[in-house]
Amino acid sequence: MAALSVWLVLTVFWGMIAPLVAGIVAPIDPFDPISVLNRFEWQQAIARISPQTLYGEVTGLLLNPAARSVGPLFMHQMQGAVIGAPLPTLQSLLIVWPQISGLIAAMLVLFTLAYVVFQRQEVRA
């Protein structure tokens, strides 16, 4: 029951919780334009706790080869790029590699925890 409730929170409500937490951690200063970027980065970092966000970023970038970033796109990222030219698959994989490794690491940690809990239970026939 606990696993179902955690899954439900991360799937349904995390998209609403992440901006609220980011607003508390990094409030926007009306006289500092960098504070908007800081808040967006915090919001993305908090949202990436959810596996749904990580999976959405991976599939979105791999299925759209014209995309060049999972976050905001700056001019130095466009340096040397041909407008409208799709990225090769290897380059797209390199962009989303942190998300892929995060999904795999979370799966391994959760499987290990479940296995340890299962092994510590006393089973009697």
Range of the domain at 34: 2-120
Please report whether residue 125 resides in a domain: no
73-76: long-range contacts (C-beta < 8 A, 24 or more apart)? none
Q: Over the stretch 32-45, which tens digit does the pLDDT of each residue have? A: 988 998 999 999 99
Q: Over the stretch 25-34, which tens digit does the pLDDT of each residue have? A: 999 988 898 8
pTM of the model: 0.74
Q: Provide the token pair at 69.
A: 């970033």
Please report whether residue 25 resides in a domain: yes
Counted domains in the chain: 1
C-alpha 119, offset from chain centre:
31
